Structure 1
């Protein structure tokens, strides 16, 4: 059965807003105006904020909803924004939060970490603790970290072993790498994937595509097939580009159970899990942290920071999704 996947960020956002009842998603207009708070009303305990580089990533929308629910239950107002991958917009949003006077903590995934150092210092000087998600940078008080490089290495090694078993080492096998090198998470995962392929001695020729969204993944797969139509091996550092590439392959006529094609990626969503659950699906390799664990760790760190509790880093690793554990990765 062929599957149809939403291929525009706008459509993905509409779906998320419907599913979550439009809670906790305050979009930034890109202007200098303050980001709109989540519709939770003011709180005597103050507010906390969560800022991702953009809201075109399905996993991040899931985390926003879960974290927002938890911090509101703890008595804090929850704020968020959508910088749309514009650095200056994200900086302006943070400055607006700092100026409010009631924001206790800001957790963020910066568009560009190094460029957030100054506004991070401004926040700390104003008594607003800055927390990292997925990575830390100069001035952060603590972070919920993801072992991005090792996650990439594990994916690359698993795919390399599959290539060795399927194609051997005599002929060079073309590989499409849907990576991203403009953020710490994307760069570490992408470099890790290449390292993992080398670790197991896979004889591959890698074509790198810089992608971040569903549309990016779809277009990258089209370009890859146009340049190298015999490409059978696909690797993605994230879920959205992988979904886009998967749909592009189906649209090009690839059987979803083609035994010669393999797609591997990091980060599980319910939509991806439904595909991987088919034991004959060519989406054969998936590594992911548990989203509920991430949301719990983020919520706990924000609440601890707002409450003046001693802080410490938490590091979460991905594990391979298998038939035995796949049900535990679905978002409840």
Structure 2
């Protein structure tokens, strides 16, 4: 596998993690993943060579948000890139119990590997244990199982790293502007979710290294409506603002609407997740939005590729080890006007 091939396979970037109820990002109008979200069958990649025919079972919640839609579409497209893969999708239902029931039926069909993004990692942990005990490797995608025995591979984004990336971007920007005591706002996602808490902790920890802290924090619900409402409240509470981090680009649509309505432009804003719309806005550079930190649904493509290798008893071409690793955490990358053109193909 070439360096560029491996980088694309492992490329990740930034919306919902362990225990999330809702996905969190804006979809583009097309339901088709970009070519960069999946890896085709390049002849230069030795892992692409056809191996043992395998059946990959797959389950993810219904596409009520763009990020979840991209997860499923990417998984399907990646499986279709391999002549030796049969893709069998089972419905996740409306909650963890319904998903578990559907997956229990899948176990009876004995697929070679199961890739799933659970409604809730903790509630689906028992299924992971059951499948592994039945000899079916499980690839746990994004929302973590708490029990390491419940999965063969866990692949997820870095929620803490999102906060760190956002904090460093804002910290460096404030230092560059010689703002000694910046007023910094934060609009989080759903506060009851561990992923939101991780993002906020990473943000606070990074800001602390510059001697900065958050002046006002509001929690929205990963929707444009709640983003707009909480942004209105935050802007009213802070008549002067230097920087704002909004955790999610979907709710960011509402945040930006509130900013426009309030006729505020004295600050910079950083988004979260890396939606196509946000990247286009950053490239255009006509609003307060200057950057976003990624959490890419390309992780679903990687999960299918790695699940295939696990089922075939193969390792990753660039690694000395003979097996696929146990856990992969994808880095959160920072998209700015300078690199937006490069990252646009990964927008969703």
Measured after TM superposition, the shift of residue 226 of structure 1 is 4.9
- Unaligned runs of at least 5 residues, structure 2: 1-21, 34-52, 315-322
CA distance in 1, matches of 2:343, 2:227: 23
Matched, 1:48 2:57: yes
For residues 200-222 of structure 1, give each alpha carbon's deviation from its aligned partner in whole angstroms, at most 9, with x where no partner exists: 11254132304223333233223
Matched, 1:300 2:305: yes
Matched, 1:20 2:23: no
Within the candidate set 282, 306, 314, 2:288 is matched to 282
SS, match of residue 48 in structure 1: strand
TM-score (norm 1): 0.73
CA distance in 2, matches of 1:328, 1:78: 33
Structure 1 127/182 Cα, relative in aligned 2: closer, same or farther at 3 Å?
farther
CA distance in 1, matches of 2:252, 2:162: 16
CA distance in 2, matches of 1:206, 1:153: 18
SS, match of residue 76 in structure 1: strand
Matched, 1:108 2:116: yes
Matches within 5 A, 1:40-189: 45-52=54-61, 55-74=63-82, 75-79=85-89, 81=91, 83=93, 86-99=95-108, 101-134=109-142, 136-137=144-145, 138=147, 139-163=150-174, 168-170=179-181, 173=183, 175-189=185-199
CA distance in 1, matches of 2:101, 2:217: 37
Q: In 2, are the aligned partners of 1:290 and 1:329 still within 8 Å (CA)?
A: no
Structure 1 168/58 Cα, relative in aligned 2: closer, same or farther at 3 Å?
same
Structure 1 321/14 Cα, relative in aligned 2: closer, same or farther at 3 Å?
closer
CA distance in 2, matches of 1:50, 1:262: 39
Name the counterpart of 1:311. 324
Matched, 1:208 2:218: yes
TM-score (norm 2): 0.70
What's the C-alpha RMSD, in Å, of the aligned pairs?
3.2
Q: In 2, are the aligned partners of 1:161 and 1:202 still within 8 Å (CA)?
A: no
Structure 1 57/193 Cα, relative in aligned 2: closer, same or farther at 3 Å?
farther
- Unaligned runs of at least 5 residues, structure 1: 1-8, 22-43
Structure 1 183/203 Cα, relative in aligned 2: closer, same or farther at 3 Å?
closer
Q: In 1, are the aligned partners of 2:90 and 2:106 still within 8 Å (CA)?
A: no
SS, match of residue 285 in structure 2: coil
Q: In 2, are the aligned partners of 1:174 and 1:232 still within 8 Å (CA)?
A: yes
For residues 185-207 of structure 1, give each alpha carbon's deviation from its aligned partner in whole angstroms, at most 9, with x where no partner exists: 33322221122222211254132
Name the counterpart of 1:273. 279
Q: In 2, are the aligned partners of 1:218 and 1:245 still within 8 Å (CA)?
A: yes
Name the counterpart of 1:26. none
Q: Which structure is richer in relative contact order (CA contacts within 8 A, separation 6 or more)?
A: 2
CA distance in 1, matches of 2:286, 2:26: 30
Q: In 2, are the aligned partners of 1:277 and 1:323 still within 8 Å (CA)?
A: yes
> Which deviates more, 119-128 or 206-215?
206-215
Q: In 2, are the aligned partners of 1:71 and 1:78 still within 8 Å (CA)?
A: no
Count residues with an aligned counterpart: 290
CA distance in 1, matches of 2:163, 2:173: 15
Q: In 2, are the aligned partners of 1:155 and 1:287 still within 8 Å (CA)?
A: yes
